[in-house]
Amino acid sequence: MSSSTGTGFLGRSSSSNSNMRGLVQFIADLRNARARELEEKRINKELANIRQKFKDGSLSGYHKKKYVCKLLYIYILGWNVDFGHLEAVNLISATKYSEKQIGYLAMTLFLHEKHELLHLVVNSIRKDLMDHNELFNCLALHAIANVGGKEMGEALSPEVHRLLISPTSKAFVKKKAALTLLRLYRKNPDIVQAQWAERIISIMDDTDLGVALSVTSLVMALAQDNTEQYKGAYVKAAARLKRILIDGEFSQDYLYYKVPCPWIQVKLLRLLQYFPPSEDSHVRSMIRESLQKILNLAVESQKNVQQNNAQNAVLFEAINLIIHLDTEHDLMKQVSQRLGRFIQSRETNVRYLGLEAMTHLAARTDTLEPIKQHQDVIIGSLKDRDISVRRKGLDLLYSMCDTSNAQQIVAELLHYLQNADFAIREEMVLKIAILTEKYATDVQWYVDISLRLIAMAGDHVSDEVWQRVTQIVTNNEELQVYAAQNILQYCKQDHCHETLVKIGAYILGEFGHLIAEERGSSPIEQFLALQGKLPACSSSTRAMILSCFIKFVNLFPEIKPQLVNVFHVYSHALDAELQQRACEFLAIASLPTDDLLRTVCDEMPPFPERESALLSRLHQKHANTSDKRTWIVGGKDANADSAELSLAKKASLRRTFSTKTGPANGGAAPAAGATNGSSSANDLAGLDMNNIGPAEAKVIKAPNLASAAHLSPGWEKGFNRLLLRADGILFEDGQIQVGVRAEYRGQMAAIILYFTNKTPAVIGSFTTTLDLDPSERANLSWDVKSMPETTIYQGAQTQQVVVFEAKRVFEKAPTVRISYLAGALQALTLKLPVVIHKFMDQAELSADDFFKRWKQIGGAPREAQRIFGLSGPKDGEREITESFIRQVLEGFRWGLLYNVDPNSKNFVGASVVHTSEGGKFGCLMRLEPNYGTQMVRLTIRATDETVPPVLLKMMEERLSQGVSIRPERYEPPTASDITESFRNIMVR
């Protein structure tokens, strides 16, 4: 009795509690509604008051600021304050900082880049950018960065650039200007003009590390899209990295937990990866020294978490750079050993970074053996508790796969696919499909894995995967019978995924007749297997099955009644596509003759060769990152060609399968030891059935300011003088003096360029860039042995040593671009006096030997001859004399032969041209002057036909200038300019 009462009491109590909770909630809702009503009433009252205050027009600046602040608060609460937008915009024009600050704050919150009021503030922002008040500059820069769209960027970007490069701008203004320009560039790349490149790069040498960091971020974004235009940043980054790590050029403010400037280190290391490795030994040495320092500093793990994180950030970026360079074998060995420890670390972040770096290593290295040693650990990462680590493990397995381990890796991936996260299943399916095709050496293995993959993955199989399978089967006869047998067995199952039904409809329609005589594969059994799937399939799959059935009508006349019956049923379908197909197929099947039927159902031709749809879809998953990748997930064969990076790789659809059976079938395994650079990747190509390639984008190429097309005025004087001399002044003006000293030995030349600061101030960000016409780069190479200092003090001098090698005969001389900051950016482009005749050595021949070799060489094409005289508009002031000719010939390094020519006034010479790849070429010269008519006939013969035209052209240009009748007064350089400089160089 009591028990019953207690139970009833508890039941009533539970119901009562439920009613009570509902009542409390109802009361709370009433209170919230009442509060909202009161809030709305109060806000409307306040907005009406503010609107009236603004209408009166008698508000002071302080009160305007106060009421705009109220509007900001109301706006943040979610209420509409459109009437106050214009008042906030007007506040920007205030003279007081506090009022202007609120105006800019309101503008960034109220307006967007396409707002109709935005054009009203452009002039006010421009005025603040040009103001001498740095705080006003910063407010304007903030507004541009947060709101500025294309129109505002185009109008104000020149002023932002001016603040960035101005020598009077404070460091904090330069930082904000650089980041503002970066934001504008990301919105609209056309905003940054090509001619700004050199000036922006020069600021990477700024003494303030904060400015250097901001500008490096800007240069990183620009260099990704314009590598050639910003190639000067490579040396800047290498030098700055060395100054921080080796020379210790940083303030204590930038020492983060004993790690110097980790943020700029990471950015400089990343920036170096956007360019191909430098060929200059001095630059490579600087980078190698910095990287070794980073590796040495990271030997021991630190207990401090912040220090460990900063150190690891720098270390892993350094590892990526070492892998990118792919030339530092000692460093690569250290990297391989460390990565093996990193992927087994207890820290999730370290495991993630270790797997990513090892994936990069697999994309570059020639052999995968060091990575294969950790294969079990990498496979285990697929079961890591963190999904990002599992993704990286999948990437690494995909990249490290080759013919020796393909079947094992594919089997592990298929096993893991059953329990894999939905987020990575589609990507895993794509990678398994690509690996299966790329490394398949056996018919049965390829078909078994492909169909098993589709059966397991189900809805995660993209159309590209099953379409690719049908393409491969169609294009390879040895696959067709086995594929038809297997797909029929899948279709017979009660639970068969719709994607397999699509493959079955296509393959059985094309190749079902090949297995019709086998047991269990008769025509009626093929028909029943597909017919049973019709009710549960989508409209598109039913259409494919109907197309298969019309082919069955042609192939299997014995089951025509059953097929026609299906067409009758679907001729009344509600779906227009199915109804039309069924009616058309019924009409074709009912014709009195089979001529049209055989024509319509003719065998499908092989698919044409096109780019792989699988690769395109796979790479799209990695294409939406903020920074462009310098490598792609895949082996070295996938990264060796830039075409693969741009998804334009083309290869054959034809696959060649060996007659051997793989381990899965009891046969021998594929040969081990295959390198990562095998050509098997070229076998992967496909047909993107739904994608048409994008139109070719119009690329505007920036001018190469270091080329001969942009030579500075006055370059000829020094160049022409140094054509005949080994040392002297190449160029001089009121700010800088450029001198040259050269030494030639055979095909090698050591050139010392020295630069003297003639200004009363310090020259900063001094940079030199060598360049050569692309047509000559295979003929002449150079190696920079030392770089000039970036800072040259008043009256000081710095130098650069370059070693040139003449590989073959060349015609065009190299150029050097010199840029520096002396108040503003100053730049010179000069032609270096490195020409082919400098690589000549004088030869001595007797008269008999000379004429004998002259006849042996013969005439054209090994002979070049020209008759010429003085050139230029002032011929009356210049003349050709015997001493002048002799001086030119000796300057061109001809060995003059006396008593050889019957006419004593003629000049005869012999020399040998040295090249490293072309060899040595003997050269003979005969010059016949006529001093009366001031004409010259010059004939040159050589054992190689490329030599005479080049020598003849250069000698004609020099001789046709003649010598001045009234020579200019020549003042030799002072000892401090040249003699002492050369002495210092020789001492070094």
For 144, 168, 169, the CA distances from 130, given in Å and listed in that order, are: 14, 12, 11
Q: Are 978 and 752 in contact (CB under 8 A)?
A: no
pLDDT band at 619; cut points 50, 70, 90: low
Q: Is 50 exceeded by the pLDDT of residue 928?
A: yes
For tokens 């790349």, name the residue: 189
Looking at the chain, the whole-number percentage of residues with pLDDT higher than 90 is 41
Q: Tell whether the model's pLDDT for residue 974 goes beyond 50.
A: no
Helix, strand or coil, per DSSP, at residue 768: strand
Q: What is the CA radius of gyration of the chain?
A: 39
The type of residue at 294 is I
Backbone angles phi, psi at 941, to 5 degrees: -125, 145
> Can you give the pLDDT at residue 16?
59
- 74 pLDDT above the threshold of 90: no
- Summarised one tens digit per residue, pLDDT across range 275-285 is 999 888 899 99
Confidence of residue 328 (pLDDT cuts 50, 70, 90): low
Arithmetic mean of pLDDT, 770-799: 92
Mean residue pLDDT of the chain comes to 83
Q: Specify the range with the lowest mean pLDDT, choosing from 299-308, 428-437, 665-674, 728-737.
A: 665-674
Rounded Cα distance between 595 and 946, Å, is 69
Structure-model confidence comparison of residues 290 and 695, the more confident one: 290
pLDDT level of residue 973 (50, 70, 90 thresholds) = very low
Q: What angle do CA 705, 709, 710 make, to 5 degrees?
A: 45
Lowest mean per-residue pLDDT among 6-10, 126-130, 223-227: 6-10
Span 449-453, average pLDDT? 89
| Phi and psi at residue 883, to the nearest 5° | -65, -35
* Residue 923 marked as a ligand binder: no
Tell whether residue 66 is among the known ligand binding residues: yes
Residue 763 has phi, psi (to 5 degrees) of: -95, 130
Low-confidence winner among 41-50, 319-328, 873-882 (lowest mean pLDDT): 873-882
Q: HSE on the CB side for 717, CA within 13 Å?
A: 11
Residue 622 to residues 277, 360, 420, 629, Cα–Cα distance (Å): 24, 14, 20, 9
Give the pair of three-digit tokens for residue 164: 């960035």
Average pLDDT of the residues in 777-789: 91
Do 248 and 206 meet the contact criterion of CB atoms below 8 Å apart? no
Mean pLDDT (whole number) for 122-130? 91
What's the CA gap between 816 and 708, in Å, rounded?
A: 9
Structure tokens at 271: 């920036």
Say whether pLDDT at 215 is over 90. Answer: yes
Average pLDDT score over residue span 946-973: 78
Predicted local distance difference test score (pLDDT) of residue 611: 58
Q: pLDDT-derived band of residue 329, with 50, 70 and 90 as boundaries? A: confident
In this prediction, residue 648 carries a pLDDT of: 35
Sequence-distant (6+) residues with CB within 8 A of 71 are 50, 81, 84, 87, 88, 106
Q: Taking a C-beta distance cutoff of 8 angstroms, is the pair 954, 835 a contact?
A: yes
H-only helix segments in 57-96:
61-76, 85-91
pLDDT band (50, 70, 90) for residue 626: low
Dihedral (Cα; 626, 627, 628, 634), 10-degree rounding: -90
Please indicate if the annotation marks 69 as binding a ligand: yes
pLDDT over 90 at 603, yes or no:
no
Q: What share of the chain is helix, strand, coil (3-state, %, to 5)?
A: 55, 10, 30
- Count Cα neighbours of 326 within 13 Å in the Cβ-side half-sphere: 17
Whether residue 232 is annotated as binding a ligand: the answer is: no
Confidence of residue 437 (pLDDT cuts 50, 70, 90): confident
Give the separation between CA 270 and CA 264, rounded to whole angstroms: 10
* H or E element at residue 713: none
- For residue range 168-206, what is the model confidence (pLDDT) as tens digits? 899 999 999 999 999 999 988 889 998 899 999 999 999
- Residue predicted with more confidence, 352 or 607: 352
**CB-side neighbour CA atoms (13 Å) of 805:** 11
- Stretch 80-107: mean pLDDT, rounded? 86
> Cα–Cα distance between 486 and 488 in angstroms, integer?
5
What is the side-by-side order of every strand in the sheet holding 727-732? 727-732, 736-745, 748-757, 797-806, 780-786
- State the average pLDDT over residues 560-586: 90
Please state, in angstroms and rounded to a whole number, the distance separating the CA atoms of residues 167 and 825: 10
Residue 887 has pLDDT above 50, yes or no: yes
Choice between 576 and 874, residue whose per-residue pLDDT is larger = 576
Q: Where are the alpha helices (DSSP H) in 629-783?
A: 636-639, 642-645, 715-722
CA dihedral 845, 850, 856, 860 (to 10 degrees): 110
Among 99-108, 264-273, 588-597, where is mean pLDDT lowest? 588-597
Is the pLDDT at 748 greater than 80? The verdict is yes
pLDDT over 80 at 483, yes or no: yes
Among 162-166, 260-264, 949-953, 980-984, whose mean pLDDT is lowest?
A: 980-984
Q: Output the six-digit token pair for 44.
A: 């409307």
Residue 634 pLDDT: 78
Distance CA 102, CA 72 (A): 9
Q: Is the peptide bond before 861 cis (omega within 30 degrees of 0)?
A: yes
Are the C-beta atoms of residues 185 and 811 closer than 8 Å to each other?
no
pLDDT greater at residue 725 or residue 611: 725
Task: Give the pLDDT of residue 17.
Answer: 64
- The annotation status of 812 as a binding-site residue, yes or no, is no
8 Å CB contact between 816 and 755: no
Q: Are 122 and 158 in contact (CB under 8 A)?
A: no
Find the helix or strand (DSSP H, E) in which 603 lies: none
**Do the annotations mark residue 70 as ligand-binding?**
yes
Mean pLDDT score, 476-489 = 90
pLDDT for the residue 700: 55
- Select the more confidently predicted residue: 264 or 703: 264
Query: What pLDDT, on the 0 to 100 scale, is given for residue 627?
Result: 65
Torsion 122-123-127-128 (CA) sign: negative
Q: Look at the alpha carbons of 370, 364, 787, 743 in this order and tell me if their dihedral is positive or negative.
A: positive
Kindly state the percentage of the chain with pLDDT values over 70.
86
Cβ proximity of 318 and 294 under 8 Å: yes
What are the structure tokens assigned to 296, written together?
């040495």
Mean predicted confidence (pLDDT) in 499-517: 91
Residue 744 annotated as binding site: no
User: For residue 574, which amino acid is it?
Assistant: L
Flag whether 393 is marked binding.
no
Q: Tens digits of per-residue pLDDT, 656-698?
A: 454 443 433 333 333 333 333 333 333 333 333 334 334 444 4
How much is the average pLDDT of 698-716? Answer: 78
Crossing angle of helices 463-475 and 422-438, in 10° steps, is 10
25 Cβ neighbours under 8 A, 6+ residues apart: none
3-state secondary structure 586-617: HHHHCCCCCHHHHHHCCCCCCCCCCCCHHHHH
Binding residue per annotation — 170? no
Residue 340: pLDDT over 80:
yes
The confidence score (pLDDT) of residue 61 equals 78
Confidence tier at 536 by pLDDT (50, 70, 90): confident
453-466 mean pLDDT: 84
Distance (Å, rounded) from C-alpha 235 to C-alpha 249?
17
What's the rounded Cα separation, in Å, for the pair 579 and 584?
9
710 confidence band (pLDDT: 50, 70, 90): confident
Report the distance separating Cα 977 and Cα 102, nearest Å. Answer: 59
pLDDT of residue 669: 37
pLDDT-derived band at 871 (thresholds 50, 70, 90) equals confident
